[in-house]
Amino acid sequence: MLSRREFLQVATAAAVLAARTGTARAQRRLTEADLLAAKPVGQVTLLHIADLHAQLVPGYFREPALNLGVGRMRGQPPHLTGAELLAAFGVPAGSAAAYALASLDFAALARDWGRIGGADRIARIVSAIRGERGTDRTLLLDGGDALQGSYTALTTRGGDMAGVLEALGVAATTGHWEFTLGEARVRELFGSRSAQGTAKLDFLAGNVADTDFHEPVFKGRAIYERGGVRVGVVGQAFPYTPIANPRWMMPNWSFGLRETELARRVAAVRAEGADIVVLNSHDGFDVDRKLAGRVSGIDVILTAHTHDALPAPVVVGKTLLIASGSHGKFVSRLDLDVRGGRIHDYGYTLIPVLADVIAPDPGMAQRIEAIRAPHTAMLSTELARTRSLLYRRDTVAGTLDDLICRAMLETREAEICFSPGFRWGPTLLPGQSITWEDVYDATAITYPACYRMEMTGETIRDILEDVADNLFNPDPYYQQGGDMVRTGGLSFALHVDAPIGRRVHDLTSLRTGEPVDPSRRYVVAGWGSVNQGTQGPPIWDVLADHLKRHGEVEVEPSAAVRVVRG
């Protein structure tokens, strides 16, 4: 339940937009000043962006209609969606805040309110707040997953986004998908604990150690003075990177939550003179919520990885948890009044980056144009059109993922297929063209091979059970993945709250209508395998071939996965 203070924070944030955002006509009255309105508090302002996934230009991104929480997190933010979320946070239906935060009436509201995000709009917001508060009072942090998720990021090996973070004036970032660029590239960009990389910002990831001597690979903490306050920032990379992503891409580094070592880093940055401690984390929201109750001395956790967006902090003891969304949809502003080494008061605003309301920053717009110009013709090439809403971000399924599965089943002549439950990727409106850019935004990874192999029915079930335990273990510290793996050609019942090994039931082949035989071998396609040497065409070619073959697609939400709650 929300405390009275949290409710008032949410109500205040929602009220900034509510009075003027009921219809499409309101967009003409909503101004940049409305979106940036905030009552200054204290000496220092923290700005936070996270999970940009290399999205340089505005687009659409639908929040989940289903975001399953388990154990103590069931029914708690951020596991509230749709009408339940809007009611809990007092957000008026049809408003700009409702469009940004929820999935209800998404296609209609998207046409009313327009595209979101864009690095040039983020730059404008950051510049405006720095102008109001003063650069010497403002600290911008990035939560990681910035260097992956687009064609230009793939071809520049993250270089385009590293330059954008520098231009934004990001002081520090951390990592997850960054590590899929490989150890050598990460070192080139971000250096090490003792050496600066080519990127002119700090890469704080104290929970990454070398496998030989267990020494930290990167700096774990830094102190930045803003407004006379010494802000200690501790960086936490995604703890389960070698499980969720290919181990062979980072063979000499070990990861982990490392709670005890984190507590030591928090104490160390305090001892070095920090007035407050901020954890710049890529753990995921539920992990950070548990961690906040176990590691003392953290004043603010800027959480990332799970792409959650909340219009008010969640308070655990004396720690504020901030969730800033993904894909450049939001910029978090947290004003802090710091006295005697603690937060005396704060003000918070989650700013939706409405691209039709916020003016682009000219310098950043020019940078983006230079990055994209050599590829614009190819990226804008239409491959097909969609008659239905295509989206990815739900716990168990998404229509964009279903389209990718269709492509694999057809192009790879498979009976069953697996598609990773990635949270990143665009949303496309009914009637919208599907371009090469959209395809890459949904598939751009450094291990894209689409395999084709035989698996027994027992193996198929074991894979689903393993992924389900990574997602639905009631202990957040054992939740290691994204959303549930997507399947094609298969239906099953998912008993979310059942014990390990007993969550997946009633597997049925959609091709034959028969139960999946544990001993029979099925032809299975998939992509995003973490195994080195996986063979097959890149998934973007598989999807593009399917789109060109059909010209027009329509994918309605599937009922192939039946969610059962205990």
Could you give the C-alpha distances from 273 to 90, 341, 476, in angstroms and in order?
40, 10, 32
**Beta-carbon neighbour count of residue 138 at 10 Å?**
22
Does 17 score more than 80 pLDDT?
A: no
Q: Report which of 348, 301, 352 is spatially closest to residue 331, judged by C-alpha positions.
A: 352
Domain annotation for the chain: domains and CATH numbers: 31-60+114-370 (3.60.21.10), 380-564 (3.90.780.10)
Token pair listed for 35 = 């979106």
Helix axes 436-443, 539-550, angle to 10 degrees: 140
Report the alpha-carbon distance of residue 344 to residue 46 in Å, rounded: 15
Mean pLDDT of the chain: 94
pLDDT in tens, 355-367: 999 999 999 999 9
Token pair listed for 195 = 């050496």
Q: What percent of the chain has pLDDT above 70?
A: 95
Buried b / exposed e along 434-445 (16+ C-beta atoms within 10 A): bbbbbbbbbbbb
Q: What pLDDT is attached to residue 6?
A: 47
Q: Report which of 462, 386, 475 is spatially closest to residue 426, judged by C-alpha positions.
A: 386
Does 98 score more than 60 pLDDT?
A: yes
**Beta-carbon neighbour count of residue 535 at 10 Å?**
10
Contact 158, 148 (CB under 8 A): yes
Does 28 score more than 80 pLDDT?
A: no
Over residues 254-262, mean pLDDT: 97
Q: What pLDDT is attached to residue 16?
A: 44
Does 77 score more than 80 pLDDT?
A: yes
508 has which bridge partners? 491, 515
Over residues 141-152, mean pLDDT: 98
Q: What percent of the chain has pLDDT above 90?
A: 94
Q: Report which of 296, 260, 316 is spatially closest to residue 477, judged by C-alpha positions.
A: 260
- Rounded to 5 degrees, what angle do the CA atoms 211, 304, 448 make? 65
Does 10 score more than 60 pLDDT?
A: no
**Beta-carbon neighbour count of residue 335 at 10 Å?**
23
Confidence of residue 22 (pLDDT cuts 50, 70, 90): very low
Contact 54, 160 (CB under 8 A): yes
Does 328 score more than 50 pLDDT?
A: yes
Confidence of residue 26 (pLDDT cuts 50, 70, 90): low
Q: What pLDDT is attached to residue 29?
A: 82
Does 122 score more than 90 pLDDT?
A: yes
Q: What pLDDT is attached to residue 11?
A: 52
Report the alpha-carbon distance of residue 121 to residue 356 in Å, rounded: 10
> Residue 227 gets which letter from DSSP?
T
Does 1 score more than 70 pLDDT?
A: no
pLDDT in tens, 213-227: 999 999 999 999 999
Does 499 score more than 60 pLDDT?
A: yes
Over residues 448-463, mean pLDDT: 98
Over residues 477-503, mean pLDDT: 94
3-state SS, one letter per residue, for 527-552: ECCCCCCCCCCEHHHHHHHHHHHHCE
pLDDT in tens, 513-557: 999 999 999 999 999 999 999 999 999 999 999 999 999 999 999
Q: What pLDDT is attached to residue 19?
A: 41
Token pair listed for 253 = 């580094």
Confidence of residue 440 (pLDDT cuts 50, 70, 90): very high
Report the alpha-carbon distance of residue 282 to residue 144 in Å, rounded: 7
Token pair listed for 72 = 């103590």
Does 498 score more than 80 pLDDT?
A: yes
Helices (H) and strands (E) in the chain, counts: 19, 24
Q: 3-state DSSP call for residue 460?
A: helix
Does 198 score more than 70 pLDDT?
A: yes
Over residues 18-42, mean pLDDT: 73
Does 20 score more than 50 pLDDT?
A: no
Token pair listed for 447 = 């291990």
Report the alpha-carbon distance of residue 457 to residue 401 in Å, rounded: 22
Q: Which residues contact 366 (CB under 8 A, 6 or more apart)?
A: none
**Poorest-confidence range of 44-53, 88-97, 180-189?**
88-97
Taking every pair of Cα atoms in the chain, the longest distance, rounded to a whole number of angstroms, is 69
Does 116 score more than 90 pLDDT?
A: yes
Over residues 375-387, mean pLDDT: 98
Does 566 score more than 70 pLDDT?
A: yes
Confidence of residue 480 (pLDDT cuts 50, 70, 90): confident
Over residues 223-251, mean pLDDT: 97
Does 76 score more than 60 pLDDT?
A: yes
Q: What pLDDT is attached to residue 339?
A: 96
Question: Would strands 521-527 and 382-386 be described as parallel, antiparallel, or unpaired?
Answer: unpaired
